[in-house]
Amino acid sequence: MIYQNRQGARKDIDHIFKDLLPDQGMPERPEQIALSHRILAAMQRRGIALRDAGTGIGKTYAYLVAGIVFHGPPPSRPVLVSTSNILFQ
């Protein structure tokens, strides 16, 4: 299911980062939420998102959550996240 409704998708991102992940012990990070919203907006307009953010922002989850919200549950299209961080590769 691809979200055409931007507000619904934004609410889902907020729910994941403000409710679900903190319930699992992960801290809420406003910069991470904002980054995920910007990535989602690029996906919705079929654009490319090239973002730079400092250490500890939570870039990986920001990209993955935006991709999941945009494309929906499996089976869905793949989302490519590229990093130069050896640990995440």
The string of pLDDT tens digits covering residues 19-45 is 999 999 999 999 999 999 999 999 888
* Domain-embedded: residue 21: yes
Number of domains composing the chain: 1
**For residue 61, is it within any domain?**
yes
The answer as to whether 79 is a domain residue is no
Q: Which residues contact 33 (CB under 8 A, 6 or more apart)?
A: 13, 14, 17, 18, 62
Does the residue 82 lie in any domain? Answer: no
Contacts (Cβ under 8 Å, ≥6 apart) of 70? 2, 3, 9, 40, 43, 44
User: Does residue 1 lie in a domain region?
Assistant: no
65 vs 79, residue with greater confidence? 65
Tokens representing residue 64 in the block: 């993955």
- Give me the amino acid identity at 36: S
In a domain? residue 39: yes
pLDDT digits (tens, 9 = 90+) for 51-66: 888 888 888 899 889 9
Is the pLDDT confidence value at 3 over 60?
Answer: no
Give Cα separations from 41 to 3, 9, 27, 29, 66 (angstroms). 11, 10, 23, 19, 9
Does residue 53 lie within any of the structural domains?
Answer: yes
In a domain, residue 89? The reply is: no
What range defines the domain where residue 53 resides?
A: 6-71
Q: What is the pLDDT of residue 46?
A: 86
